[in-house]
Amino acid sequence: MTEIIIIVLILLMIVGALVAIETPNLLHSVISVGAVGFLLSIVFLFLSAPDLAITQIAVEVVALVLLLRATIRCERDDPSPGHWLSAGRLAAMVMVIMLVIFSARMFAEFPEFGRPVIDRFADAPSNTYLRDGLEETGAANIVTAVLLDFRAYDTLGEATVLFCAVIGAISVLRPKAKKRLHEVDAEVEL
Amino acid sequence: MIYLLSFVLILIGLYGVLTRHNIIKIVISLLVMEYGIHLFLVVQGYRTGGVPPIVDSGIEKELWLQQTVDPLPQALVLTSIVIGLGVLALMVALSIRLHQRCGTFDIRKIKKLRG
Amino acid sequence: MNDPRERTGMSMIVKTACGWLKGFILLYGIHVILYGHLTPGGGFAGGVIAAAAFVLIMLAEGEQSALQSFSRKAASTWDCLGVLIFLLVAVLGLFVVGTFFVNFLTTPESARLTLFSGGIIPPSNIGIGLKVCASVYLVLLVLTTQRPGSSPSTPEDAS
């Protein structure tokens, strides 16, 4: 039953993603991708991942605000990129179809849905985390225990990446850079 | 089936990145691709009828171990979601700066990048 | 009507609803951060939720009102402070036990599944929550003052 619900939700996500990519209006596109993100949050809830559902729904709200800030004051229309069967599109379609063909073998070897990897390998790290997580760290939420105790180096790297991305965004948009850019423009025009 | 559907989501994002000309559309395609990858990773740890990986004191330990889903993909995807937000902010900042300089989001019209 | 805050932002209905909601959203974010080791959530989710409270103030009441409650300088300070808390917890493990990022506070059997358990996990959650909250708020603040439709020569606060 859960599988059918998840399949229906993913089909809705695919429809939303296609609308987001194909519609000519940028505002409609942003709203469609927001719908895809909220559907993904519901799928996480059905996949027994409440941490991910909470994070996804909060991140999606902030991402929508970011994208709306970018599109709301500019031209909203994406002029149609030529004929629907142009050379570039054809090449992209061929590449995507080739990827599907080559990955068919990979999907044939996948386990069926609902059988996690930790069942097949008894010494998988996840089994240790689940068995000894509460005793070793004292945290009942094993996902947090993995994030901040067993694999805290990953979280440190993540904090570094977030720090760099924020510094990059702020320095790209800082007001002083404009003057310098205009000076560069003036020099180029001279 | 679900693996294939999440792979289709990744491919839709790839198709959008390859064919669109608007920068915001490319950013949105990357976002769709990211969603597909997150879904693909989390589905691999799911167990039919599984419970969330949070220790419940009212249930026996061995029974709980046989029911819970894999916490490792969830932890790594949680990291990835927040990194995705940071990268999205950086991409939006760059495209806004580009729009201020060139007055358009269309990558075919942005010729100043050629130097 | 002479109050300058009346003229910025959205309509009065939105502002009143925001005034009711912002405290609860912030409180929920703090709850998610503090109880991250017992219930779903943690530093990342709670930080983004707490940032959403300030983003709501920014969208509904204008940037000046948001800057009054959480200034740009304070956001940078909290951002750096969050990373420093996280690193301090990591380095303390190096000094106390001898390994970077080791959980040096062991939880006694009786304290399990309570708020004060989990060793270094709640302090790390608080650090990460502060960091994520301040970063997301800072990015949206910069993007709001610099939107693509604005003319390139408007003077902004250069602090």
* Rounded Cα gap, residues C107 and A136, in angstroms: 8
pLDDT for the residue numbered C155 = 40
Residue A74 and residue A29 in contact, taking contact as beta carbons nearer than 8 Å: no
Residue A121, sorted as left (phi over 0), alpha (psi -120 to 50) or beta, turns out to be beta
C44, two tokens = 């990342």
Q: What is the mean pLDDT of residues C89-107?
A: 81
The answer to ipTM > 0.95 is: no
- Which chain B residue has its CA at the smallest distance from A148's CA? B75
Would you tell me the crossing angle of helices C121-145 and C72-96 to the nearest 10 degrees? 160
| Per-residue pLDDT at B70 exceeds 80 | yes
Chain B residues in contact with C135 (beta carbon < 8 A)? 86
Burial class (CB in 10 A: 0-12, 13-18, 19+), A39: buried
Which residues are within 8 A (CB) of A50 and not within 5 positions of it... i.e. 6 or more apart?
A44, B52, B54, C40
Q: What is the mean pLDDT of residues C105-128?
A: 80
Higher pLDDT: C155 or A52? It is: A52
Chain B residues in contact with A169 (beta carbon < 8 A)? 89-90, 92-93
* Rounded Cα gap, residues A6 and C139, in angstroms: 34
With CA atoms as reference, report the closest residue to C134 among A53, A180, A167, A152: A167
Chain A residues in contact with B13 (beta carbon < 8 A)? 17
Q: Which of A152, A155, A166 sits opposite C139 (nearest CB)?
A: A166
Asked whether the beta carbons of residue C83 and residue A65 sit closer than 8 angstroms, the reply is no
DSSP C111: G
Q: Which of A71, A88, A162 sits opposite B83 (nearest CB)?
A: A162
- Which chain A residue has its CA at the smallest distance from B23's CA? A78
C119, two tokens = 């060793």
* pLDDT band at residue B22 using 50, 70 and 90 as cut-offs: confident
| Per-residue pLDDT at C100 exceeds 90 | no
* Rounded Cα gap, residues C56 and B24, in angstroms: 23
Q: What is the 3-state secondary structure (H, E, C) of B36-105?
A: HHHHHHHHCCCCCCCECCECCCCCCHHHHHHHECCHHHHHHHHHHHHHHHHHHHHHHHHHHHHHHHHCCC
pLDDT for the residue numbered A95 = 86
pLDDT for the residue numbered C151 = 43
Chain C positions with Cβ closer than 8 Å to B: 38-40, 42, 44, 48, 113, 132, 135-136, 139, 142-143, 146-148, 152
Residues of chain A with pLDDT under 70: 73-85, 175-190
In percent, the amount of chain C with pLDDT more than 90 equals: 23
pLDDT for the residue numbered C154 = 39
| Per-residue pLDDT at B57 exceeds 70 | yes
How far B47 CA sits from the closest chain A CA (Å)? 4
Asked whether the beta carbons of residue C113 and residue B57 sit closer than 8 angstroms, the reply is yes
* Rounded Cα gap, residues C135 and B90, in angstroms: 12
Residue of B5, B32, B61, B77 for testing the chain A interface, max A β-carbons within 10 Å: B32
- Residues 51-90 of chain A with CB under 8 A from chain B are 51-52, 55-56, 59, 62-63, 66-67, 69-71, 74-75, 78-79, 81, 88-89
With CA atoms as reference, report the closest residue to A75 among A109, A127, A26: A26
| Per-residue pLDDT at C30 exceeds 90 | yes
Tens digit of pLDDT for each residue in B72-112? Answer: 999 999 999 999 999 999 999 888 888 887 777 877 777 66
Tell me the whole-structure pTM to 2 decimals. 0.87
Would you tell me the crossing angle of helices B2-19 and B23-43 to the nearest 10 degrees? 160
| Per-residue pLDDT at C5 exceeds 70 | no
Higher pLDDT: C118 or C100? It is: C100
| Per-residue pLDDT at C114 exceeds 80 | no
Q: Which chains touch C (3 or more CB pairs under 8 A)?
A: A, B
| Per-residue pLDDT at C156 exceeds 50 | no
| Per-residue pLDDT at C152 exceeds 60 | no
Tens digit of pLDDT for each residue in C32-88? Answer: 999 888 888 888 899 999 999 998 888 888 878 888 888 888 888 998 999 999 889
Alpha-helical (H) ranges within chain A are: 2-22, 26-46, 50-71, 87-108, 117-120, 125-137, 142-145, 152-172, 176-189
Q: Which of A44, A69, A126 sits opposite B72 (nearest CB)?
A: A126
- Residues 23-52 of chain A with CB under 8 A from chain C are 50-51
**DSSP count for chain C of H helices, then E strands:** 6, 0
Asked whether the beta carbons of residue C83 and residue A163 sit closer than 8 angstroms, the reply is yes
* Rounded Cα gap, residues B55 and B69, in angstroms: 12
